[in-house]
Copies of this chain bind each other. A is one copy, B any other.
Amino acid sequence: MKTNRRNFLKNTTLFTFGGMVLPQLSYSNMKKGSLPQKGLQLSFEPYNLQLKHVFTLANSSRSTTPVMLIKIKFEGFTGYGEASMPPYLGETQETAAKFLSRLNLKQFTDPFRLDEILEYVDNSATGNSAAKASVDIALHDLIGKILGQPWHKIWGFSAENSPATSFTIGIDTNEVVKQKVHEASDFSILKVKLGRKNDKEMIETIRSISDVALCVDVNQGWKDKQHALDMVFWLKDKGIEFVEQPMPKEMLDDIAWLTENSPLPIIADEALQRLSDIKATIGAYSGINIKLMKCTGMREAHKMINLARANQMKVMIGCMTETSCAVSAAAQLSPKADWADLDGNLLISNDPYSGMKVINGKITLNNLPGIGINNS
């Protein structure tokens, strides 16, 4: 409704429609007139995502992911944003609260000036990429609502070009892996975490019960380039589509050699965070995995896609464990991606929003303005 109201308020002029004469208040005049002129109003609150399944890593397990939910209000509109902060990335609700509370967004009276606002946010402190992303997402939601259109349309994309999203199968016992694959039957591509001694066993276990499309994420787990190449050829035979971050990001020459000789695309993940990191991946990887929480948000992610494309690189859009807010924001970019890994909201039991849906395994964008979410 707010979108309609905003559009309705856009001009002072009287005009007739269907025989009615409609008075229209001026939005821009309101700004100059008797009402107090206000800038962007930022608020935030910590929120803990409850994971449907305990998340097990080598040395720890967890059942929650801390996030910060933010709002930016401006003249009757509200934009929603989110910072997701899995512990291993270094940000916390405390660091995000500190970062956000020091921002003075009230100085900005025009949310459209994204270049200027986001430059201010980015320069206000180093790091804090998830907190920065939350502001970027909320501003995009706000602007899209003012424009009355979702960002995939404002960017000129075709929504139906969104790819399928992969669903991640973690490292586990054969029985649990089989059960997880069975439970993931709604998905048309699964992501398998590799990088341990049982890599082949994991794949063979899945292939014993399913011929679903697979991709693998090695998380820097292979340390020898010849072993990596042997594995890639073996995986190619098993019908795997691509390999994410096969070796430690520091081993750039070995990765470049692997990519040159690999029959499968090799995708950078840990090797990059932001736009300025892409240059080093050109020629060494076949493509990049872009995550809003690492690259500071939708605006930089959009630029990263264009830069990757200009260098003939593949593009993947990924996420953290997130609510439908950040996942739907990332999904706006997905029509330009070759692959998506946007399952973060499906892993939690207390999503406060509804937004992009996975239908028959495919990311399905709606036509809601902004990032395309409702409070659920």
> Does A89 sit within 8 A of B, measured CB to CB?
no
Question: A275 to nearest B CB, angstroms?
Answer: 6
Provide the bound-state CA to CA distance between A310 and B303, in Å.
9
Whether A154 lies near B157 (C-beta < 8 A) is: no
Of all chain B residues, which has the CB nearest A302? Answer: B306
CB of A251 closer than 8 Å to a CB of B: no
- Contact present for B306 and A157 (CB under 8 Å): no
The B-contacting residues of A in range 245-299, CB under 8 angstroms, are 275-276, 278-279, 299
> Chain B: which residue is nearest A22 at the CB level?
B22
CB interface residues, A 92-140, toward B, < 8 Å: 112-116, 118
Question: A22-B22, A149-B112, A156-B115 are contacts. A8–B5 as well, Cβ < 8 Å?
Answer: no
Q: Which residues of B contact A1 (CB under 8 A)?
A: 13, 15
Nearest CB on B from A28, distance (A): 8
A179 within 8 A of B: no
- Give the CA-CA distance A74 to B258 in the complex, in Å: 51
Query: Is B17 in contact with A10, judged by CB distance below 8 angstroms?
Result: no
Residues of chain B lying within 8 A (CB to CB) of residue A4 = 7, 10-11, 13, 15, 24
A275 to B17, CA, bound (A): 45
In the complex, which of the residues A7, A13, A118, A303 has the most CB atoms of chain B within 10 Å of its own CB atom?
A: A7
Whether A30 is near chain B, meaning CB under 8 Å from some CB there, is no
Q: Does A352 contact B (CB under 8 A)?
A: no
Check A8–B3 contact: CB distance below 8 A: no
Copies held by the complex:
2
Cβ < 8 Å to B, chain A residues 147-174: 147-149, 153-154, 156-158
Q: Which of A1-36 contact B (CB under 8 A)?
A: 1, 3-5, 7-8, 10-11, 13, 15, 17-18, 22-25
B310 touches A275 (CB 8 A): yes
* A357–B158 alpha-carbon span in the complex (Å): 35
Q: Which residue of B114, B148, B276, B279 contacts A10 across the interface (Cβ within 8 Å)?
A: B148
Write the nearest CB–CB distance from A7 to chain B, whole angstroms. Answer: 3
- Interchain CA distance A157-B114 in the complex, whole Å: 7
The one of B7, B13, B116, B276 in contact with A158, judged by C-beta atoms closer than 8 angstroms, is B116
Looking at the assembled complex, report how far the CB atom of A344 sits from the nearest CB atom of chain B, in whole angstroms: 26
Lowest 6 CB-CB distances: which A-B pairs, in order?
A: A114-B156, A7-B7, A112-B153, A147-B147, A307-B310, A116-B158
What are 30 A-B contacts with C-beta separation under 8 Å? A1-B13, A3-B11, A4-B10, A4-B11, A4-B13, A4-B15, A5-B17, A7-B8, A7-B10, A7-B148, A8-B8, A8-B17, A8-B22, A10-B148, A18-B25, A112-B149, A112-B153, A115-B156, A115-B157, A115-B335, A147-B147, A147-B148, A147-B154, A156-B299, A276-B310, A303-B306, A303-B310, A306-B307, A307-B307, A307-B310
